[in-house]
Amino acid sequence: MEIQIFGTKKSSDTRKAQRWFAERRIRVHFVDLAQRAASRGELQRFAQKFGVAALIDQDGKRFRDLGLGAAHYGDERWLERLVEDPMLLRAPLVRSGNRLTIGYEPDTWAEWLTAG
């Protein structure tokens, strides 16, 4: 099983996710969003499963600093914003093949392990 985690080193949930997989000796490919943004196609996968709104960290500092609370963008515009400014994403985004999660979801990851 190979896991891909999108997040930042500053995100506590991202660090917890990395530690969770490391404790189980599962190989992780970490994509630091502070260094490299996720592609539109990658974000589209998560958006198709959870909806674009689930990708946005509305409680995050970056969201507040930009004053986006009153923004009424459509899904396409939000995706553009998330590609342009990955610090607006909820972290971590975790992918294993076609299985996806947003945020710290150890129960779901444990199910992935038992399902194989």
In tens, the pLDDT along 54-63 reads 999 999 999 9
d(CA 21, CA 100): 15
Categorize the per-residue pLDDT at 71 as very low, low, confident or very high, splitting at 50, 70 and 90. Answer: confident
- The CATH number of the domain holding residue 56 is 3.40.30.10
pLDDT confidence of residue 1: 82
In tens, the pLDDT along 35-55 reads 999 999 999 999 999 999 999
pTM of the complete model: 0.92
Instruction: Give residue 44's domain range.
Output: 2-115
pLDDT confidence of residue 111: 96
d(CA 90, CA 103): 7
pLDDT confidence of residue 31: 97
Which strands make up the sheet holding 93-96, listed edge to edge? 27-32, 2-7, 93-96, 99-102
Strand, coil or helix: 42: helix
The answer to whether residues 3 and 26 touch, using CB atoms and an 8 Å cutoff, is: yes
d(CA 68, CA 102): 20
Count of domains forming the chain? 1
